[in-house]
Amino acid sequence: MTHSAAGLIDRITTLSGDTFNAAVIEGAGPIAMEFTSYGCGYCRAVEPLLQQVAETIEGNEQIFRVNIDADPELSEAFEVQGMPTIIMFLEGRAVGRVEGRDSTVSNVMAVVTQPFNITTESP
């Protein structure tokens, strides 16, 4: 867990091409991977929702992000077309995905947890 430039707790770890495989493909448990661009308005709008979801599901699932501008090969490898894209992984395999902006915490929670059947209370 790190702190953002605004001093807020960042519960989503940013990965690079060098750290992606170890964290996601070889990672344990359910993982949600956000493919984002820091210049994308929709991505910035979804970020606080993802932070709330990350706090709620902490311990059940991990959420990571990758900046597609810095690591375009990852977005190409997973055929990411729209921003933001969240791909859910289990045992190194993609098991679900959603593209585009989703406007409520409960919708983002459903997207992130549904492929794993994780039960949480909606904030």
**Residue 56 annotated to the active site:** no
> Is the four-CA dihedral 94, 96, 97, 103 of positive or negative sign?
negative
Q: Of 24, 43, 83, 86, which residue is the catalytic one?
A: 43
- Cα–Cα distance between 117 and 110 in angstroms, integer? 10
Let me know the angle formed at the C-alpha of 70 by 42 and 101, rounded to the nearest 5 degrees: 15
**Residue 93 annotated to the active site:** no
Question: Would you call 43 exposed, middle or buried from its count of C-beta atoms within 10 A (0-12, 13-18, 19+)?
Answer: buried
Q: Of 40, 90, 95, 110, which residue is the catalytic one?
A: 40
**What residues act catalytically?**
40, 43
